[in-house]
Structure 1
Amino acid sequence: MLLAVLSLASCQKDSPGQCDAAQSLYARYPFPIGVAINMDELAPDTPYQDIATRQFNGVTPENVFKASYIHPAPGSYDWEQADQLVAFCRAYNKRLHGHPLIWHQQLPRWMENFSGTEQEWEALFREHIQTLCRHFRGRVRSWDVVNEAFAADGTLRHTIWQQHLGSGYLEKAFRYAHEADPTALLFYNEYDLDANPVKRRAVLAWLRSMQQRGVPIHGLGLQTHMSIVHPENTQIAEMLREVQPTGLQLHLSEVDVALNPLGKPIEPTPELLRRQADKLAFLVRAYQELPRAQQYGITFWGISDRNTWIRRYFHRDDYPLLFDDDYQPKPAYCILARP
């Protein structure tokens, strides 16, 4: 696969240029092309909703399924925005991927400060997972059950879940989710598996163990937050080659390509935008080399550069997405939209 993909990339010499975004991007591909939706931006008669509706046939909630939003107090759930997203997906026939059931960030204060016994932690953990899965049963096709559980050195990250429930919490999370919704596909989601082979090997060893134990795990989410310089294309191809033998469905789950990883003053010059487009084209071609049965889809982590999490989180200028601040298609979009 590696040589084939590198050859394809080397043959792509034309500039991605400008293009018309009137047609659907997802219609170009045999697998879903998704996007992370920010419910604060999704409103009728806006460019944001128009692009979300027309260009993508998969949706991941950027925030509103996270515990700090949906589980604000013990025994209390706020379904309003999450249900609005479900309604949007049903109205426009979008596949909805739930994200995430268990994560160590964006937790409500009461959960972070919970001081119960191990049994009470177990009850909290199970109740949170199963309440979400039951509420959305039949409406959420798949879940990121656990998000980012491994540290850079390949060990389990020291989170409140690991601290209070032990390393077995990952297996329990998948079993509890499956109990609550046996029809949903269940994913483990992780970042930096392209650039960090130590972490990747640890995750793959854990996945093999879960498969051998009969744990209901169906897919692996590869976040693929990239920049125009990192990871190298050979690292992307190596990651996909190593994860393929799991037989799991593989989701490029949070794709963006930063122009400014060092946080310097920057303008999105034609050269930088071309490099961004080429990077993304390589990723998509490499993904297309996988067996079709393992291609769960590609999801971009946002619609417009003005909405990107990178600006909010890192407090820097950046332009990592398919559409610019004015919701106009960029070369990265155009190179993917070619027939």
Structure 2
Amino acid sequence: MPPVLPSSRSGFRPCLVLLACLGLPFSACRKAPGGPCDTRASLYGQYPFPVGVALRTNKLYPGSPYQELAAGQFNSVTPEYEFKPDALHPAPAAYEWAAADALADFCRQHNQRLHGHTLIWHQALPRWITEFAGSQAEWDALLKDHIQTVCRHFRGQVSSWDVVNEAFEADGTLRSTIWLRHLGSGYLEKAFRYAHEADPDALLFYNDYDLESNPVKRRAVLSWLQAMRQRGVPVHGLGLQLHISIRHPENSQLTEAVQAARQTGLRLHFSEVDVAINPLNQAVEPTPELLQRQADKLRFLVGLYQQLPRAQQHGITFWGVADPDSWIRSYFHRADYPLLFDDNYQPKPAYCTLVRP
């Protein structure tokens, strides 16, 4: 087991308000003028479990609001892109570590846990993998080489991994990925075993979406996890992504999903949390009413997580620092405001309700 990080850190910069209009550095002030609350207290310091964020190294400019919030508010980091296969493994015999190493360095400098995302996925693959024409044995060797090279490179730096990401369809069947087509369903077990061989100390997770709102998919995933554990496969945790909205799912659905996942005894990671306020892609503004609904939804979600046994709490990770960093805007081509900080990196009610639980 890797060491558990303390729930507080020293040396972070608590002054997190953008005052570029006054010609002052970002860290020169202590309070968000006109905002609903200030950011002097770190978010992670309010909870006994890690509170994380997905980061991109190309946005971590020293003194920027993005960097200041990333360093001061969170004690766990998930790479949003840098650890995916097309970023790390662009050619058969070539690995590019610079961006990923920079993120690992950032975590080390700020005493933050690093959660690796992701070793195996059906997206974000380099062209040489999608066009690979090898035999089943050669595909197996490719899978093993990629997983073990990456895990060994980050051994001692990454404490946990999303080993396989999004392997199930909505109907509960295995997704017809390039891995399934060339290796069969056994690729999932192999992925976990290969990762464990390369880094026996790392915690290994399966990660997926819609488990909170699709009971068919959830039952299939939980059944598979149970079977893997019975076979002695080193699966230690489940990541529930929880890209949710103020409209969906219902709180009762969230409760049902978390209770079902709790029964596995696995560590649970709320791994990619955001709460959209415009899921229907309408012409909306982030009004106080909508932002309060967002805060209420998030308060309920975090409250559910606090009810879990401490041994099962791997942490809650938000999928981005502030609204302009959200994947939702570019992926769905819509205006939305799903994160804890607004377009000016000011705290929103969602942040305030969590920093004053």
Instruction: Calculate the TM-score normalised by the size of structure 1.
Output: 0.94
SS in 1 for 2:350: helix
Pairs within 5 Å for 1:247-326: 247-326=265-344
Residue identity opposite 2:321 in structure 1: I
Distance 1:163 1:193 in 2: 24
Instruction: Give the counterpart of 1:19 among 25, 37, 46.
Output: 37
Residue identity opposite 1:146 in structure 2: V
SS in 1 for 2:179: helix
Q: Using the TM superposition, give the Cα deviation of residue 175 of structure 1 relative to its aligned residue in structure 2, in angstroms.
A: 0.2
Q: Using the TM superposition, give the Cα deviation of residue 152 of structure 1 relative to its aligned residue in structure 2, in angstroms.
A: 0.1
User: 2:168 matched to 1:150?
Assistant: yes
Instruction: Give the counterpart of 1:131 among 149, 157, 165.
Output: 149
CA shift digits 1:220-240 (9 cap, x unpaired): 000000000111100000001
Residue identity opposite 2:98 in structure 1: E
Q: Using the TM superposition, give the Cα deviation of residue 57 of structure 1 relative to its aligned residue in structure 2, in angstroms.
A: 0.2
Alignment partner, residue 203 of structure 1: 221
Pairs within 5 Å for 1:50-69: 50-69=68-87
Q: Using the TM superposition, give the Cα deviation of residue 266 of structure 1 relative to its aligned residue in structure 2, in angstroms.
A: 1.3
Instruction: Give the counterpart of 1:73 among 91, 94, 107.
Output: 91
Instruction: Give the counterpart of 1:40 among 55, 58, 62.
Output: 58
SS in 2 for 1:101: strand
Distance 2:279 2:90 in 1: 34
Distance 1:311 1:31 in 2: 29
Alignment partner, residue 123 of structure 2: 105
Distance 2:47 2:102 in 1: 27
Alignment partner, residue 187 of structure 1: 205
Alignment partner, residue 17 of structure 2: none
Alignment partner, residue 14 of structure 2: none
Distance 2:57 2:242 in 1: 23
Instruction: Give the counterpart of 2:230 among 205, 208, 212.
Output: 212
CA shift digits 1:170-196 (9 cap, x unpaired): 000000000000000000001000000
Alignment partner, residue 334 of structure 1: 352
SS in 2 for 1:220: strand
Distance 2:129 2:209 in 1: 24
Alignment partner, residue 241 of structure 1: 259
Q: Using the TM superposition, give the Cα deviation of residue 40 of structure 1 relative to its aligned residue in structure 2, in angstroms.
A: 1.6
SS in 1 for 2:335: coil
Alignment partner, residue 177 of structure 2: 159
Alignment partner, residue 241 of structure 2: 223
Alignment partner, residue 137 of structure 2: 119
* Runs of 5+ unmatched residues, structure 1: 1-16
Alignment partner, residue 24 of structure 2: none
SS in 2 for 1:145: strand
Distance 1:326 1:128 in 2: 39
Distance 1:243 1:137 in 2: 28
Q: Using the TM superposition, give the Cα deviation of residue 127 of structure 1 relative to its aligned residue in structure 2, in angstroms.
A: 0.3
Q: Using the TM superposition, give the Cα deviation of residue 144 of structure 1 relative to its aligned residue in structure 2, in angstroms.
A: 0.1
Moved more, 109-118 or 58-67: 109-118
SS in 1 for 2:341: coil
Instruction: Give the counterpart of 1:232 among 250, 253, 262.
Output: 250
Work out which structure has the larger RCO, using CA pairs closer than 8 Å and 6 or more positions apart in sequence: 1
CA shift digits 1:278-298 (9 cap, x unpaired): 000000001101111101100
Distance 2:315 2:335 in 1: 28
SS in 1 for 2:221: helix
Q: What is the identity percentage for the equivalent residue pairs of Structure 1 and Structure 2?
A: 68
Residue identity opposite 1:287 in structure 2: Y
Q: Using the TM superposition, give the Cα deviation of residue 23 of structure 1 relative to its aligned residue in structure 2, in angstroms.
A: 1.3
Distance 1:200 1:295 in 2: 19
SS in 2 for 1:97: strand
Instruction: Calculate the TM-score normalised by the size of structure 2.
Output: 0.90
Q: Using the TM superposition, give the Cα deviation of residue 264 of structure 1 relative to its aligned residue in structure 2, in angstroms.
A: 1.3
Alignment partner, residue 109 of structure 2: 91
CA shift digits 1:263-283 (9 cap, x unpaired): 111110100000000000000
Distance 1:273 1:65 in 2: 32
Size of the aligned set, in residue pairs, is 323
Instruction: Give the counterpart of 2:193 among 169, 175, 189.
Output: 175
Q: Using the TM superposition, give the Cα deviation of residue 121 of structure 1 relative to its aligned residue in structure 2, in angstroms.
A: 0.7
